[in-house]
Structure 1
Amino acid sequence: MDVSVVRRALACLELAPDTGRGLDDLLVRLMAALADMPGLSSAAVVLADADHAPSIRAQLGAPDVGLLLRAALERGEADAPPRILRRPGAGPAESPLLAAPVFAGKDMPWGWLFVDGLFGAPAPIEDDLRLLGLLAEAVAAMVRVAAQGRERGDDLAREVAFLRSKVSLRYQHVFSEGSSPLLVPLRAAVDRAALSDGPVALLGEDGCGRGVLARLIHDLSPRALRLFSVFDAAAGQQVALRLFGGSRSLDKPGAPGLIEETDGGTLLIEKAHRLPPEVCERLGRYLADGSFTRLGGGRTRVGRSRLLLTAPPQGLGSELAATPNLAVIRVPSLRERPEDIPALLDHLLSLGSARDGRRLSLTPKALKALETYDWPGNIHELRVLVSRLAVTAPDDRIDIADIPPEMLAEGERPPVLPEDAAELRDMERQQVLSALTRHGWVQSRAARELGLTLRQIGYRIRKYGLARDEDENA
C-alpha cells in the first residue's frame, strides 16, 4: 500500500481537535481528500441521528443511496470487518459498494463509511478494504472528538449558567435591595454594559462601589470565565510599560503588558483620570480600533481585552472622554441615597454574623445617627465601620455610644468624662499611627483602611503631631 496515498487521505485529520468547526465540516474535508484516490468516484458517511435513524452526513459524487441506506440500517460493531455490498440481482460487471462500520464507542453515534473503490485496477480489492477500515477508524475518532467537544460545551454552558446565578445573587446586594430610585437606572446600565463589549467609564466618588460594579459587568458578560485584572493608574511609575509591554532589544527580552496578559478578559484601570497624556493617547487608539504597539516597538498588535475605567464624578481626561464607543455609568454616592443605608447596614451585619457567629443589630437611635451621617468614604467607609463594630462593640446591640464620635452630630455625642476622653484620644492616636505604619505612611491607603477621607486623616496627623521616625531624626 502506498503510504503517500494514505497520508493524503488522512490529511484532514489535522483539524480534528478543532471541535469549533463541527463534525460535518471535518467529514466534508475527508471527502475532499478522498477525491484524489484513483479508484473512487463516489463515497458517503452515514451516521445515526438522535433517533437512531441513519442520516447521510457527507458524500462525494452520486452513491447508490438506496443500497447504502439499506446497509446502514444494520448497526456496526467494533470488530466487524469492512465488506463488499452488491445490489440483489446485480451482474458481475456492476461495481460493488465497499462498506466499513464506524464504531466510536458505547453511547456514541454509530454508522458506516461507504466507497465504490479506492486504489482502482490493478490493485486487489483487499487493499481497498484495508484502507477503508483505517479511514472508518479515522471517522470514528472524529465522532469521538466532536462528541467530547459537545460535552465540554454543555459543561461550559452549565458552568456559565451557574456562575451567572451566583452573580445575580451577589448583584442583588451590591447596593442592597435598596429603595432609592437611583438604583433602577444604575442596574439597567450595568446589565446593558454586560451584554456589550465596548469600554465603560464608571464615574463616582471613592468608595461608592465602582470597582464592585466593574467586577459585576465582567461576571455577567460572556468574558466571565476569562481573566479579570485590576491596574491602579496612580500606583507608581512606568504606567505605559505595565499596560502595553515592552519590545525586545539587544539587552533585554520583550515582555507583554496587561492588555496582552488579560487577552479575552477584562482589564479595570482604576483612577484612569491620573493617566499621563501620552498613555491616554495610546489607550485612545486601542479603544478606537483594538490595536496597539509595545513600548519601543513598531509592530502593530491587536488586543481582545475589554477596558473598564474608574474616575471621579468630573470624568476622564479629554483624550479618553472623546472615545466614540465609550459608555459612561455614573455611580451615586451613599449620601445621595440615604434611604438605602438601613438595608446596607443590615446586610453587612448579617454577613458579619455568618462569619463570626455574632448577630449584631442597631438600636433605633444608633441607626438614625448613621442615616444622618454624610459618609464621605461611601460604601467602603460603611464596611470599615461594621468591621470595627464587630470587634469593639461590647454587646450585640449597638448603641449610640458605640459609634465613633466623629460620625455623630454635635448633639448626638454622649457625654465623656475627662479620663474617658484621654483614653479615647490615645486609642484613636494609636489606631491612626498603626494604619500609617502598615501602609508605609501612604496617607490615602491608611485612610481607606480606617474609612476616613484624606482631609480627615490629615487633620488627625496634625492633631496628634504624628511623624515618621526618619522625619523626627532628620
Structure 2
Amino acid sequence: MNQLFEFIFQSSYDGIYVADKDGNGLMVNEAYTRITGVKPEELLNKNIRDLVNEGIISESVTLMVLDKKRTHTIIQRVKEKEVLVTGNPVFDENGEILYVVTNVRDISELNQLKLELQKTKALSNQYLYEIEEFKKKESVQMMMDGVVAHSKEIMDVIHLAQKVARVDSTVLIHGESGVGKEVIVNLIHKYSDRAQAPLIKVNCAAIPQHLLESELFGYEKGAFTGADSRGKPGLFEQADGGTIFLDEIGDMPLDLQAKLLRVLQEFEIRRVGGRKNIKIDVRVISATHKNLEMMVQNGQFRQDLFYRLNIVPIKIPPLRERKADIAPLAYYFLNKMNKRYGFNRRFHPEVIYMMEHYDWPGNIREMENLIERLVVTVDHEEIQVSDLPFSLLNQDVRKPISLKSMVEEFERKIIRDYLAKYKTTRKTAKILGISQSALVKKMHRIGLK
C-alpha cells in the first residue's frame, strides 16, 4: 500500500507539498520541483515561515489553512515564478489539523496566453482605429493634388516641389521606377505661374531615337521621306508658355543631348530641315531612374547638360524607405478601385501589416496594380492575407516573429509618428494618454531616442 501511495504521489502532474500542523515540510513530489524549480532539500524538515522569510515563496497557503482551518487557494510566487496553490487541511478525529496538503499548478503559460490575447486584441483595435483615421484623413491627404503624403520623407519632397514651383529653374527628379515622379511634376506645374498653360510630357525611352528629334523640335515640310507636307511643330513648341517634362532623360542619345543643351541655353529651337530659329518660353523638368553622374563619368551623358538639368534636384525615396505612406496609399487605392468597379472591399488588419513589411520593388505602381487585382479577383468582401500573391508572402515578413516584437514595432511606429507631429514628449504623452516619464521609459525600452 505504501508503494502504491508513493507511486500515485510521484505520478501527479501537479506539484504536491505536505506540511505538519506546525508548518514543517514532510513530503514533496517531483512535479513540485519541475514546476517551481525548488529542490526537495530546500523544503523538507524546514518550517514554512522560514521559507517565506528567505524569499523562496511570497506567502504561505499552509499558514492560512492552519490559521483558518479550512481550504484556501491563492496565487503564489515561488522563486519569481507565478503558481496557483490550494491548501487542504487533514483533520484528526478530534477536528484538529494533522497535516496540510498543498496542490501546486503552473499558471505562467496561462498568464502568458492571457497577456498575448490582450496584446493581440489591443493591436487589432489599434489597427481598426488607424483604418478609421486613414479614412477620415483621406480627403485631406489626397487633396495634396494627388499626392498621398503621410511620411516626413514625402512631405519634404512636396515642400521642396511647392517651393521650386514659384520659379523657372530646371528641376531633375531622381527616383526608382514607380515612385511617383510624374505626380510631383503635376504638382510643380499646378503651383507655378504656368499652371494655365500646357504641360507636355515626353518619355524619351518610349520614342525611337531616330524619331525623337523631330518629335521634340518638329520638322519643316519635305524634311524627310514621309514627312507631313505642311510640316509639324514639335513638343517644345506645343509647350510654349508652359512646362515640358522629359521623362527618362538618361535614355536620350548624345547627339540630341547637345541640341537640348542649346535649347536650355538660348531658349530657342530649330525644326528638322528648318533654317530659322524659333524662340520658345518653356520650363523644363526632367526625370530619371538612372545614375546620371555615373553616366557622365562613363561618357554616356554630357556633363554640361547634366549641370543644366540638375539645378534643383529632387530625390523621391522608394516606398520601402517611407513605410508610413504604405497604409494610406493602400486605403487610397482600395477606395479608388471600389469606386471604379462598384465594390465594397476592405482589408483585414494583417494585410496592412504584411504590406508594411514588403519591399515593394515596383514601388507605388506595383501597389496600385496589386490592389486593383485583389479588388477584382477576390470572392469575398474582406481581403485576407491568403489572397496576397506568393511574391509578397514569400518575403522575410513570413519568417516567425514574436508577438512581443510585433507590439514593440507597432509602438515604435505610433510614437515616432506622434513625436514628428507634436514635436515634444510632453505633448505626445498627453495625446497618448500616458505620463511623460512613462513615455520616456517606453521609448528607452523599445529603442527610440
Determine helix, strand or coil for the equivalent of 1:352: helix
Distance 2:343 2:306 in 1: 47
Distance 1:299 1:227, change over 3 A: same
Offset from partner CA, 1:33-72 (integer Å, 9 cap, x none):
xxxxxxxxxxxxxxxxxxxxxxxxxxxxxxxxxxxxxxxx
**CA deviation after TM superposition for structure 1 residue 184, in Å:** 2.9
- Which residue number in structure 1 is paired with residue 246 of structure 2? 269
Conserved 8 A contact 1:204-1:330: yes
1:299 maps to which residue? 276
Structure 1: which 4+ aligned runs deviate by more than 6 Å? Answer: 411-414
Corresponding residue of 1:190: 161
Match of 1:347 in 2: 332
Give the letter for the 2:155 counterpart.
V
Where does residue 403 of structure 1 map in the other structure?
Answer: 388
Superposed displacement of residue 360, structure 1: 2.2
Determine the structure 2 residue equivalent to 1:176: 148
Give the counterpart of 1:258 among 229, 235, 256: 235
For 1:343 and 1:403, locate their aligned partners in 2 and report how far apart those are by CA, in whole Å.
18
Displacement of 1:240 in angstroms is 0.8
Aligned residues of 1:269 and 1:310 also touching (Cα < 8 A): yes
Q: When the two structures are superposed, what TM-score results if normalisation uses the length of structure 1?
A: 0.48
Aligned counterparts of 1:197 and 1:250: Cα–Cα separation in 2: 33
CA shift, 1:248, in A, is 4.1
Change (3 A) 1:295 1:353: same
Aligned pair count reads 247
Deviation at 1:320, TM superposition (A): 2.4
| Equivalence for 1:220 | 191
Q: Secondary structure at the match of 2:369?
A: helix
1:373 aligns with 2:345: no
Structure 1 counterpart of 2:445: none
Q: Secondary structure at the match of 1:217?
A: helix
The Cα shift of 1:269 comes to: 1.4
The answer (yes or no) to whether the contact 1:203–1:315 under 8 Å persists in 2 is: no
The CA distance in 2 between the partners of 1:314 and 1:203, in whole Å, is 9
Q: Check 1:292–1:349 CA distance in 2 against 1; reply closer, same or farther (3 A cut).
A: same
Unaligned runs of 5+ in 1: 1-166, 415-474
Q: Cα deviations across residues 353-379 of structure 1 (Å, max 9, x unaligned)? A: 333332322222221111111101100
Residue type of the alignment partner of 2:201: V
Residue 194 of structure 1 deviates from its aligned partner by 1.5
> Bigger shift: 222-231 or 318-327?
318-327
How many Å separate the matches in 1 of 2:179 and 2:140?
A: 20
1:123-164 CA-to-partner distances (Å, cap 9, x unmatched) read xxxxxxxxxxxxxxxxxxxxxxxxxxxxxxxxxxxxxxxxxx
* Structure 2 stretches lacking a partner, 5+ long: 1-138, 294-300, 400-449
Superposition map of 1:428-439 within 5 A: none
Instruction: Look up the match of 1:69.
Output: none
Matched, 1:204 2:189: no
CA contact (8 A) 1:280 1:319 kept: no
Shift in Å, 1:276: 0.7
Tell me: CA distance 1:267–1:173, structure 2 relative to 1, closer, same or farther (3 Å): closer
| C-alpha deviation, 1:172, in angstroms | 2.2
**Residues 318 and 363 of structure 2 are in contact (CA less than 8 Å); yes or no, is this contact kept in structure 1?**
yes
Q: How far apart, in 1, do the equivalents of 2:223 and 2:193 lie?
A: 40
Structure 2 partner of 1:338:
323
**% identical aligned pairs:** 29
Q: For 2:144 and 2:284, locate their aligned partners in 1 and report how far apart those are by CA, in whole Å.
A: 24
Task: Pick the structure with greater CA Rg.
Answer: 2
Give the superposition deviation at 1:313: 5.1
SS in 2 for 1:323: helix
Question: Quick one: structure 1 residues 171 and 306, their matched pair in 2 at CA, closer, same or farther if it must change by over 3 Å?
Answer: farther
* TM-score under structure 2 length normalisation: 0.51
> Contact 2:170 / 2:308 at 8 angstroms: preserved in 1?
no
Q: Distance in 2 between matches of 1:174 and 1:195?
A: 19
CA distance in structure 1 between the aligned counterparts of 2:140 and 2:279, rounded to whole angstroms: 32
Provide the C-alpha distance between the structure 1 equivalents of 2:200 and 2:219, rounded to a whole number of angstroms.
Answer: 19
User: Which amino acid counterpart does residue 245 of structure 2 have in structure 1?
Assistant: L
**Counterpart AA for 2:363:** N
Indicate the RMSD between aligned Cα atoms, in angstroms: 2.6
Q: Distance in 2 between matches of 1:209 and 1:392?
A: 26
Quote the offset at 1:216 in angstroms: 1.7
SS for the counterpart of 1:328 is strand
- The aligned residue for residue 283 of structure 1 is 260
Matched letter for residue 356 of structure 1: Y
- Residue aligning to 1:362: 347
Tell me if structure 2 keeps the 8 A contact 1:244–1:259.
yes
Cα distance in structure 1, aligned partners of 2:332 and 2:309:
39
Spell out, residue by residue over 1:59-102, the C-alpha distance to the aligned partner (whole angstroms, 9 max, x if none): xxxxxxxxxxxxxxxxxxxxxxxxxxxxxxxxxxxxxxxxxxxx
Given that residues 175 and 344 in structure 1 are in contact (C-alpha distance below 8 angstroms), is that contact kept between their aligned partners in structure 2? no
* Structure 1 contact 233–239 (Cα < 8 Å) conserved: yes
> 3-state DSSP class of the match of 1:201?
strand
SS at match of 2:291: coil
Distance 1:310 1:370, change over 3 A: same
